[in-house]
């Protein structure tokens, strides 16, 4: 990107104080910004940075009054943080949608339709009866099975695998090696100890604005007509396991290596740290926050709790108990001493 400060101010509906012609080519934190970069000041706590920053421009509140001279141009707006995130997203789009056209060889099956401004990398595979929207980027080695639907402006990085029947919304980003729609883990035990494979006939649905990291797996639902569903705005990190028939509520964020077992329903706006394990057939309330490596064996009914541990406890409760876990040798010793004293005491009483 390269824009003048004037152009950026126009984009944000802001007013410039200072030089309007300087070129901006990057976003940065106010304390780290260099010339040619733009930063923002929202929290008054960080005001001192604005008097030292090397940023060519800083986005500030429209009622901001400097207490000292500032070398940067100021762009005055209603909400600096929100304006800055608008720029972040614009910049993200600009660098993400550069690829366009078709590299050969690539494969497309029968009756598939693709939109405008698409990128189809070499060795990408599109099956039969696929529908792909406008401005979609299909990087090399990506596989799109039969009957898949992909919405506008979605980016499929190299080597994404969409099994037949998967539905991906608009403005989604899926990173390398991620698999959507593999078979749920379902087997019917037989009397002789073997298992028969239960056909997995459902699919995976991603709504709009979903981002998924690398090498994550989401299994399809078991029954035909059913779906494993990832709701709008969900952000999943790398190496996550999402089993069959799971539903993840809007705007929930899940960090790397977490696993969600079959048929569990995760609420909206939840935050899961890394390596969390969640059992099957649970319901997790909205705004639940779960610490790293926690284990969730039961449904969480109350909204907005902060949990940790295996099985999960309230964060404070867990750390109080864990502090005492470390003191168990001391507790055990004191208990033994008490027992001895009491025996001695009782003898003393008796001998009195």
* Footprint of its own copies on 102-121 (CB under 8 A): 103, 105, 107, 121
Cβ-Cβ contacts under 8 Å for 295 (sequence gap 6 or more): 276, 277, 278, 279, 309, 310, 311, 312
> Contact between 11 and its own copies (CB under 8 A)?
no
Question: Which part of the chain contacts its own copies (CB under 8 A), choosing from 2-10, 42-50, 54-62, 273-281?
Answer: 273-281
Tell me the C-alpha distance between 270 and 231, whole Å.
Answer: 12
Inter-CA distances, 190 with 52, 193, 199, 223, Å: 72, 6, 16, 21
* Footprint of its own copies on 81-100 (CB under 8 A): 81-82, 84-86, 88-89, 91-92, 95
For residue 236, how many C-alpha atoms fall within 13 Å in the half-sphere facing its CB?
35
Classified as helix, coil or strand, 173 is strand
Single out the residue of 80, 133, 145, 169 in contact with its own copies (rule: CB under 8 A). 145
* Footprint of its own copies on 149-188 (CB under 8 A): 157-159, 161, 163, 173, 175-177, 179, 182-183, 185, 187-188
Is the Cβ of residue 20 or residue 251 nearer to its own copies in the bound state?
A: 251
Q: Shortest gap between Cβ of 217 and its own copies (angstroms)? A: 4
> Contact between 66 and its own copies (CB under 8 A)?
no
Single out the residue of 45, 65, 194, 302 in contact with its own copies (rule: CB under 8 A). 194
Tell me the C-alpha distance between 305 and 154, whole Å.
Answer: 33
User: Could you tell me what percentage of the chain is helix, strand and coil, using 3-state DSSP and rounding each to the nearest 5?
Assistant: 20, 30, 50
Q: Shortest gap between Cβ of 349 and its own copies (angstroms)? A: 6
* Footprint of its own copies on 225-254 (CB under 8 A): 233, 235, 237-239, 241, 243, 250-251, 253
Is the Cβ of residue 69 or residue 302 nearer to its own copies in the bound state?
A: 302
Question: Which among 111, 137, 115 is positioned nearest to 124, based on CA atoms?
Answer: 137
Element (H, E) at 168: strand 167-168
Here the tokens at position 199 are 């056909």
Longest dimension (CA), the chain: 101
> Contact between 292 and its own copies (CB under 8 A)?
yes
Here the tokens at position 100 are 């366009």
Catalytic residue list contains 175: no
Q: Shortest gap between Cβ of 38 and its own copies (angstroms)? A: 13
Q: Shortest gap between Cβ of 312 and its own copies (angstroms)? A: 11
């Amino acid at each position: 990107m390269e824009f003048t400060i004037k152009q950026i101010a126009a984009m944000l509906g802001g007013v410039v104080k200072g030089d309007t012609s300087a070129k901006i080519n990057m976003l940065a934190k106010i304390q780290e910004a260099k010339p040619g970069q733009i930063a923002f000041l929202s929290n008054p706590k960080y005001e001192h940075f604005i008097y030292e920053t090397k940023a060519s421009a800083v986005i500030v509140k429209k009622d901001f009054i400097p207490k000292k001279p500032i070398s940067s141009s100021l762009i005055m707006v209603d909400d600096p943080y929100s304006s800055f995130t608008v720029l972040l997203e614009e910049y993200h789009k600009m660098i993400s949608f550069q690829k366009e056209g078709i590299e050969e060889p690539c494969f497309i099956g029968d009756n598939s339709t693709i939109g405008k401004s698409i990128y189809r990398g070499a060795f990408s595979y599109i099956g039969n009866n696929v529908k792909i929207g406008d401005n979609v980027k299909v990087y090399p080695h990506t596989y799109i099975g039969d009957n898949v639907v992909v919405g506008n402006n979605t980016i499929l990085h190299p080597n994404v695998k969409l099994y037949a029947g998967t539905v991906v919304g608009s403005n989604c980003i899926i990173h390398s090696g991620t698999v959507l729609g593999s078979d749920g883990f379902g087997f019917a035990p037989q009397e002789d100890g073997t298992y028969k494979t239960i056909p997995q006939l459902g699919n995976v649905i991603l709504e709009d604005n979903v981002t998924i990291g690398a090498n994550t797996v989401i299994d399809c639902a078991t029954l035909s007509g059913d779906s494993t569903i990832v709701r709008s705005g969900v952000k999943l990190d790398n190496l996550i396991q999402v089993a069959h028939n799971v539903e993840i509520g809007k705007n929930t964020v899940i960090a790397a290596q977490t696993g969600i077992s079959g048929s569990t329903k995760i609420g909206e706006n939840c935050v899961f740290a890394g390596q969390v394990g969640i059992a099957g057939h649970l319901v997790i309330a909205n705004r639940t926050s779960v610490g790293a490596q926690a284990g969730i064996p039961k449904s969480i009914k109350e909204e907005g709790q902060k949990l940790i541990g295996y099985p999960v406890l309230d964060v404070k409760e867990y750390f109080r108990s864990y502090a005492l876990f470390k003191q168990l040798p001391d507790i055990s010793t004191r208990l033994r001493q008490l027992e001895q004293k009491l025996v001695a005491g009782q003898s003393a009483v008796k001998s009195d």
